[in-house]
Amino acid sequence: MKKKILIIIALIMIISTIIRTAVVSFSFLNFSNQLIENQTLLIKEILEETNDKEKFLQIIKNSHHINDIKFIPDQKTENIKIEYNFKTQTITSIAPFDDNGVLQITFSGVDYFSKLQSAILQLIAIAITSLIIIILIVNYYLTPYLEILEKIKQSTEEILKGNFNQKIETKLKGEAKEFVDSYNNFLTKMKNSFGVIEEKYTALIEKEKSKDPLNDAKETIEQLANIFQFKRLIEDDATSNSILNRLIDIIKGFNINHFALVGIDNSERNALLIYSQGDICCNLLENFESCRAYRLNKEINSLKFKKICEFHTCKNEYICLPFSSGGNFTGILKIMTDKEKDQELLQQNLPYIKAYLNEVSAVIEAKYTLEILHNQTIKDPLTGLFNRRYLENILPTLIAAAQRRGEKMAFLMIDMDYFKKVNDSYGHEAGDIVLKTLSNILKYSIRKSDIAIRYGGEEFLIILQNIKSIDDAVKVAEKIRENVQNSIIDIGENSIKKTVSIGISIFPDHCMKGWECIKYADIALYEAKRTGRNKVILFNKQLKKETNYNA
């Protein structure tokens, strides 16, 4: 910086010297022009009045400051012209004399050019002397201040590297000393504050120190703020699926294009693929207990240890991160990459991804556990179908929705024929196998929008939503009946075949209330069993009269 200041001062002095020299030269020129013009006019006037012009011209020529004077015929000029010849050091004036020509006078310019040169040299000498004096003075007084600025620059560069120990010193007193002391005090406070900030955020995020700690701290704090907002958001989500969907969006936001998210139900001992983008590259779903990340509950990173997982089948690199592994749910996030640039970016973002997973862990475990408890209250533990309690809660909503949309619903009451004989002949364990088999047939025979319920004992209820016609309900019922009839059920060493009877009622064709529809389906079921079993009966008004039922 000192060099720049001195260069600027030198430039200012040079420019000012050039300007002063030009001004002096111009003043000299004006003065000499006026002097030459006055002398020329004087000589011209004398010549015009004298009779012996030749004699007067000879006298003028002998003058020490005039080199030559002569008439030039056949030339004209309106005003006096003055020409300077630096080479011959002469000044020539040409003035109009009469109608036949002009008067040309050549003056000696030796003294003029000598004085002009002397003036210019003096100006330059003064400028150089002034420049040296100013530079010495500026250098003496400005150097200590410039040294302070240079030290501040060096200290700032160290601050950007995370080093707050480079304080500055000065021999100056007064305001400069106060400024240096204030800067050092600021540096100390900044060091203490940043140390606390760095300690706190590194405790929250496992992150290595970077070459640019200040920018890294800024980025990390921004990410922590986003993670905090994310946590507050997922705490208000109703289901674990909602949380996992938000997590998927977060992962995509890190420009990760090849990953899989797997959920493992530790209570049921099964794995479910929640989301995948690209090949999962392993048999995690079929054999999750052998997964290294699941088994050890720790990060598996092939970027650090090549071929760390023997079950990975692709040639790309991978990172497997388990989360929420202390209860009913364990999530495995598997990220894969084959580009070096993507791997570097993944390594940079990995601490943030882990932080998101940590926030998800506690919340999703709580949600998942609540869902399990809720399912235990609304689902039959033997068959996994909804129970009667769930039916009581959902039935008014289903009827109201169907009425509002003007849709038909079918109620299929299903009963296993001669189920008591299974328990009596083969035992209750065999009976349970038969009921589980029937429940599986029901699940696979209906749509996802339909509802299967274990109504009680060996009796089941199917609610078909938004059917187009009564024939649709009858077709589904016949499909269930035939599937049961054609199934062979293994019960230990024996195999048996069973049949079901099915009664159907249609809303709003047969009934306008939920429990009324169930009752009518039950009446039709009774008729199916009374008339031979293994059949489907559709409710009609005659059956209602025969049973003497009034809703």
The alpha carbon dihedral of 336, 341, 347, 352 has a sign of negative
* Angle (deg, nearest 10), helices 53-61 and 2-49: 150
**Catalytic residue chosen out of the listed positions 458, 459, 482, 527:** 458
Cβ contact 101:86 at 8 Å: no
Query: To which residue do tokens 């040296």 refer?
Result: 132
State how far the Cα of 183 lies from the Cα of 152, in Å rounded to an integer. Answer: 9
CA of 16: how far to CAs of 124, 293, 446, 496, in Å?
10, 78, 99, 117
Neighbours of 406 (CB within 10 A): 7
H-helix segments, 340-491: 340-378, 388-405, 419-426, 428-445, 470-485
φ/ψ (deg, to 5) at 267? -75, -40
Taking the mean position of all CA atoms in its chain, how far away is CA 141?
50
CA 42 to chain centre: 91
d(CA 9, CA 31): 33
What SS3 state is found at 153? helix
Omega within 30 of 0 (cis) for the link into 508: yes
Q: What is the spatial distance between Cα 84 and Cα 402, in angstroms, rounded to a whole number?
A: 114
Catalytic residue list contains 147: no
Pairing relation of β-strands 270-277 and 459-467? Answer: unpaired
**Residue 334 backbone dihedrals phi, psi, to 5 degrees:** -110, 120
Dihedral sign, CA of 269, 275, 279, 280?
negative
Cα dihedral across residues 300, 306, 308, 311: positive or negative: positive
* Cβ atoms of 243 and 237 closer than 8 Å: yes
SS3 241: helix
E strand or H helix at 207: none
d(Cα 396, Cα 518) in Å, to the nearest integer?
12
Q: Which residues are catalytic?
A: 458
